[in-house]
């Protein structure tokens, strides 16, 4: 049976829902299609600890894989305060509070369209 492939928006929204369920904070879904040629969506979220980042990254990967999402690359590690799960057209960023403020992706991608924000 052929493996089902998720549309990028569906995958991004699943990531937002799971992050919300798992107590990530300040979750943002950005549509970057008009500002980028390498991805369609950024999902950005804050976490309180390295342990929460690690657990959330694992749970995101497992849940998205069950629905047909395949992670292409992982960058960073939980103790660095920043992790990226690259799903091709969807890039998921998990930040600690200080790292989120430092990298300011929302500001750097000011041409992106905010689709969802969950405080």
Write out the chain's pLDDT in tens, 119 residues: 445 567 999 999 999 999 999 999 999 999 999 999 999 999 999 999 999 999 999 999 999 999 989 999 999 999 999 999 999 999 999 999 999 999 999 999 999 999 999 98
- Domains within the chain, CATH numbers bracketed: 8-118 (3.30.460.10)
> Do 30 and 104 meet the contact criterion of CB atoms below 8 Å apart?
no
- Pick from 108, 57, 111: nearest CA to 86: 57
Tens digits of per-residue pLDDT, 54-69? 999 999 999 999 998 9
How many Å apart are CA 101 and CA 33, to the nearest integer?
Answer: 23
| Angstrom distances, CA of residue 73 to CA of 18, 63, 84, 111 | 19, 16, 8, 25
Other residues' Cβ atoms within 10 Å of the Cβ of residue 107: 8
């Amino acid at each position: 049976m052929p493996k089902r492939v998720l549309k990028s928006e569906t995958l991004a929204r699943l990531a937002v829902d799971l992050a919300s369920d798992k107590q990530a904070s300040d979750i943002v879904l950005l549509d970057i299609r008009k500002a980028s040629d390498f991805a369609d969506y950024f999902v950005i979220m804050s976490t309180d600890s390295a342990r929460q980042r690690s657990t959330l990254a694992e749970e995101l990967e497992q849940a998205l894989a069950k629905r047909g999402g395949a992670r292409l690359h992982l960058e960073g590690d939980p103790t660095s305060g920043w992790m990226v799960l690259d799903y091709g057209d969807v890039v998921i960023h998990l930040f600690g509070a200080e790292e989120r403020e430092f990298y300011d992706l929302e500001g750097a991608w000011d041409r992106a369209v905010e689709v969802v924000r969950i405080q």
